[in-house]
Amino acid sequence: MDTGLGLSVLPKEKQDALVSVAREFVHSKVGYSFSGDEQKTLKPFFTNIDQRVFFMHSLPSNVMATLASMFSRLKNKRGIRGVFVDSFLPGLLVSNLCTSQDDVEPFLKNHEIKNLRDFISYSSETRSKFEWFVSQAPEEAYTRLLADSQKAKKFLGMWLDQYGHNSIARMGEVWICFEDVSILAAKSIEWTRPGAGYVELSTRFVDREKAGVYPIDNELRVLGTSASVIQNHLNSLFILYADNLGDNLNGLFPNFLREKWGKLIEENGGKVEVGVAGETFDILGNLLPAATLTSVAAAISGESLPSVLRHLILDDTAENLALVELILQEAGKVGADQFIRHYQPSDAEIRGWKHIPLTLFGGLERIVPFITVPKNEIAKNIIEEAFFFREEDEHLSILDIRDIVGELFIGGRDDHDKLPREFELVTVPFVGVMSFRGWRDLHRQGLSTHRRTLLTPSLGFYRYDKPQPPKLAKSFQIAKQSSQNVYVGLNQVPPVISQYILPIGFRAGFIYSANLRQHEFCNWQRTKPSVNHEVRQIFLSIEKGLRDLYPWWHLFSRANMTPAYIFARGSEVPLTQSL
């Protein structure tokens, strides 16, 4: 395979050497362990307890979704499996001892139960409750017996391969967890696709003292670059990050935020420390390199599962190929391998999997609609004509678009009321630039189309446009300049691989497209006060673009047009209130 910019352009012996380096890390055991009692509770629900890639199974869907959400928000050095034994399971078992669910948290706190070990050792009753749970959990052999059912294999093989009935695979759902993968690999995993959802570990949990990074220095050593140069560069980025952050959020930047905004936030009933923490991690996260390790939990339909592997392969890094190997290995333990068909990219897919050329983004600062979007009269006529076909709503079929909104939402509009399906008939693409860190949020918008440029220094670096201490801009400039210097030295390295060493504050060019129904929903969601400032500005720009294109759009839109807020969390104080 040759996508032109990644691993596959290298000679075969170099490709093999890089994949070998990737395997050494990706296939290695995790740096933590579980006790015997913890293993008893984990093995029935996780395909392994010591590797970086594993499937969750045999748990109710609401429980797996809860675990993934808790995992992304709770700092646990043992990942989602640690969340299960340290947080979720003790609470679950205590709920069987309490007369009310309201008593669970006080019970845990009052008796200092912080993990499964504390729960088991608390009393004979809690030990008995633990043993009961273990006795009820399915055995590994039971799960494997069902997963290996020849009846299921034969049926799926015939209907998926012979007849191409993908709707059968659509009914299946698998949960895959990835621990300690690079931010770059996480975005390969998270390419939006129907029937899939993702939760990524917050960058606020990056260890300031010893941040984990994918060993890109070892890969680059194979390609003739000094490993020490790369190590020193990555370390310098983490030092900048830690210096601005401080211990326990007492660095120059969070202290500036407290001094500048603390009194105003308190006067408006906000939570100063919540706001300071959120803003600090949002902004300083731009200093982290793309090689920084993160974790991802993904819920994926059986139909979409092959595309996860396909996209990992198409993004053309050694790390991704090593991850594909582990997915295939673990999938067989829960029968998910029976959905993994035709995952190798075709020649047409390879040719079409190109990054957008950087030259198209010269001078572009924000986000603008395509020149060729449907003009006002065309979009208006399409929607009005679509309503004309509503035979059951004859009164709607004769209305002008400005009157439709009043007829649709007589009696009000609930929070989650999307626009009717007629608005799906008009699609409006946008093109823009933003930090790679911010693009990661934009990219999570489902039912939308996404493409991007490579991450390079060419399009500039993130700029914080709120009041700030001088040291912040200086830190960004140092990160930008030092990264450019190292990047230039990688001129013989495929640019897909060079992305790893760059801080995610470098800007990427992107295309983002959605139909009007989806635009309205996303703009409503992502202009709320709780959204990262840069991301919110992008969606405000999209909203303004739509209002400029279509004078009637504001009648249908619920976007919050407040220009900016002091913090994305802890308060809803507009920035303009203080300027």
- Can you read off the two tokens belonging to residue 219? 């890969």
3-class SS of residue 513: strand
Residue owning tokens 């994918």 = 214
Taking the CA atoms of 433, 439, 442 and 445 in sequence, report the sign of the dihedral they define.
positive
In the three-class reduction of DSSP (H, G, I as helix; E, B as strand; rest coil), residue 82 is classed as: helix
pTM, whole model, 2 decimals?
0.92
Instruction: Categorise residue 370: left if φ over 0, alpha if ψ from -120 to 50, beta otherwise.
Output: beta
Give the C-alpha separation, 90 to 108, whole Å.
8
Residue pair 555/419 in contact (Cβ under 8 Å)? The answer is: no
% helix, strand, coil for the chain, step of 5: 55, 10, 35
Distance, in Å, from the CA atom of 197 to the CA atom of 65, rounded to the nearest integer, reads 10
CA distance 205 to 482: 25
Q: Which CATH number fits domain 358-454+507-578: 3.30.70.100, 3.10.20.600, 3.40.50.150, 3.30.1360.170?
A: 3.30.1360.170
Can you give the three-state secondary structure of 26-75, one letter per residue?
Answer: HCCCCCCCCCHHHHHHHCCCECCCCCCEEEECCCCHHHHHHHHHHHHHCC
Contact between residue 329 and residue 229 where contact means Cβ atoms under 8 Å apart: no
Please write down the long-range contacts of 347-355, taking CB distance under 8 Å and 24 or more positions apart: 349/310, 349/314, 350/1, 350/2, 350/3, 350/314, 353/3, 353/314, 354/3, 354/4, 355/5, 355/451, 355/452, 355/453, 355/454
Token pair recorded at residue 302? 């059986």
Tokens of 511: 């295309």
Are 507 and 436 spatial neighbours (Cβ–Cβ below 8 Å)? yes
Residue 579's pLDDT is 47
Helices (H), 197-317: 216-222, 227-245, 252-267, 272-284, 305-314
Name which of 523, 529, 534, 356 is nearest 436 in CA terms. 534
Q: Which tokens belong to 47?
A: 């395909």
Q: What angle, 0 to 180 degrees and rounded to 10, lies between the N-to-C axes of helices 470-488 and 252-267?
A: 140
Which residue is listed with tokens 């670096």?
461
Question: Distance between alpha carbon 571 and the CA centroid of its chain, in Å?
Answer: 24
The pLDDT of residue 391: 62
Token reading at 116? 């499964």
Rounded to the nearest 5°, which phi and psi values hold at 40?
-60, -35
Q: Which of 53, 78, 492 is nearest to 312 (CA)?
A: 53
Question: Tokens standing for 563?
Answer: 């220009």
Residue 335's nearest CA partner among 145, 483, 85 is: 145
Q: How far is CA 343 from the centre of its chain?
A: 22
299 beta partners: 175, 197
**How far is Cα 225 from Cα 488, in angstroms, rounded to an integer?**
12
Sequential pLDDT tens for the chain (579 residues):
555 689 999 999 999 999 999 999 999 999 999 999 999 999 999 999 999 999 999 999 999 998 988 878 777 889 999 999 999 999 988 887 776 666 888 888 888 999 999 999 999 999 999 999 999 888 877 777 776 666 666 666 655 555 555 666 566 689 999 999 999 999 999 986 777 889 888 766 666 555 689 999 999 999 999 999 999 999 999 999 999 999 889 999 999 999 999 999 999 999 999 999 999 999 999 999 999 999 999 999 888 899 999 999 999 999 999 999 999 999 999 988 888 878 999 999 998 898 999 988 878 888 999 999 999 999 999 998 888 877 665 555 556 788 787 778 877 888 888 999 999 999 999 999 999 999 999 998 888 899 999 999 999 999 999 999 999 999 999 999 999 999 999 999 999 999 999 999 999 999 999 999 999 999 999 999 999 999 999 999 999 999 999 999 999 999 999 999 999 988 899 997 554
Residues 6+ apart with CB under 8 A from 428: 369, 370, 373, 374, 513, 514, 515, 516, 519, 545, 546, 549
Cα–Cα distance measured from residue 12 to residue 18, given in angstroms and rounded to the nearest whole number: 10
Closest CA to 298 of 175, 481, 211: 175
Angle at alpha carbon of residue 337, lines to 331 and 339, rounded to 5°:
130
11 alpha-carbon distance from chain centroid:
33
CA 308 to mean position of chain CA atoms: 14
Pairing of strands 449-452, 367-369: unpaired
Mode of pairing for the β-strands spanning 196-200 and 53-56: unpaired
Q: Residue 305 corresponds to which tokens in the numbers above?
A: 């599962």
On whether the CB atoms of residues 382 and 374 are closer than 8 A, the answer is yes
Question: How high is the pLDDT of residue 390?
Answer: 73
Domain ranges within the chain, ordered by starting residue: 358-454+507-578
Burial code of 231-250, b = ≥16 C-beta within 10 A, e = fewer?
Answer: eebbebbbebbbbbbeeebe
| DSSP state for residue 410 in the 8-state scheme | T
Distance CA 438, CA 367 (A): 13
Across the strands, what pairs with 292? 213
| β-sheet bridge partners, residue 297 | 177, 199
- Parallel, antiparallel, or unpaired: how do β-strands 53-56 and 449-452 relate? unpaired
